[in-house]
Structure 1
Amino acid sequence: MSREHEWVDEEAGPVVRPYAVARGRTKSASSEVDLLAIVVSTGQPAPSKAELSAQHRRLLACVAGRSRPVVEVASDLGLPVGVVRVLLGDLLEHGLVTVRPPRDRAAAPSESLLREVINGLRAL
């Protein structure tokens, strides 16, 4: 039995606590890992000194080949955002991912436009 499967119960799902996944850490090593930051894998091989857990590898697979927001990655992995931020900080230190800040708010649609879209959808 592989180590990855010993932490999963068929009916209950993962049985390891989030703080154990993050090795007891609550803050990311990097301040770049914002909730709405965009993450993508660099495609670089992991350095020999890197101690990557199964969750690190799952996270890398989740962002391989496409840019994704941190919050979306957390949702797909079924992990709390805080844990994902810690794991991303580790991967960032090893050069395995790049992190871009979220889009400029000036480029985002205005609140009035979004309200018009919502009202239009409700009218359907």
Structure 2
Amino acid sequence: MKHDDTSWFDEDAPLLRPYAVTRGRTVGAGHELDMLTLVVCAPRAPRLRRTEPEYTDIMRLCQVPQSVAEVSAVLHLPLAVTKILVGDLIGEGYLDFRAPMQTDIGPNDVNLLRAVLDGIRRL
């Protein structure tokens, strides 16, 4: 029986583990970032000195406002990793951020739930 040494390799798998991208860090630089936090390049951001491609990709994407979740999805990175990288760029003055707006509507608001259900039914 012939054994194929490449049978274990998954071409869709990332080549680097997420902890390698963040250098083992599991928490960010002190910014509480939500997945809905909007980030955009700072108007007078210094020239990017980081050489890691993830930081360059984030800066390219954030020429227009993006949510942290959008950045995560486009770059195919876990949300936790994206929060750490975005937090680094915020801390160094490359990105500006705005937390999502808080509303008085909670997840148990019956009127909101009815409106969502009505919208789904119309689809």
- Larger proportion of helix: 1
- Tell me how far apart the structure 2 counterparts of residues 10 and 17 of structure 1 sit (CA, whole Å): 14
Counterpart of 2:25? 25
Using structure 1 for the length normalisation, give the TM-score: 0.74
What percent identity do the matched residue pairs reach? 35
Cα distance in 1, alignment partners of residues 90 and 37 from structure 2? 13
Equivalenced residue count is 113
Instruction: Tell me what 1:36 maps to.
Output: 36
TM-score, normalised on structure 2?
Answer: 0.75
Residue 55 of structure 1: aligned partner:
54
Aligned-residue RMSD, C-alpha: 2.7
C-alpha distance in 1, partners of 2:41/2:115? 36
After the TM superposition, which residues 1-124 of structure 1 pair with which residues of structure 2 at under 5 Å, given as runs? Answer: 11-43=11-43, 44-46=45-47, 50-65=49-64, 67-106=65-104, 112-124=111-123
Structure 2: gaps of 5 or more residues: 1-8
Listed as ranges, the gaps of 5+ residues in structure 1 are 1-8
**Residues 38 and 67 of structure 2 are in contact (CA less than 8 Å); yes or no, is this contact kept in structure 1?**
yes
Deviation at 1:38, TM superposition (A): 1.2
CA shift, 1:46, in A, is 2.5
CA deviations 1:69-117 (Å, max 9, x no partner) are 1122111111011101110111112210011111122389x65235324
Task: Report how far residue 42 of structure 1 moved.
Answer: 1.2
Determine if contact 1:32/1:99 at 8 Å carries over to the other structure: no
Q: Based on CA coordinates, which of the two structures has the bigger radius of gyration? A: 2
* Cα pair distance change 1:69/1:111, threshold 3 Å: farther
Give the counterpart letter for 2:112 in structure 1: L
Contact 1:92 1:98 (C-alpha < 8 Å) held by counterparts: yes
Counterpart residue number, 1:5? none
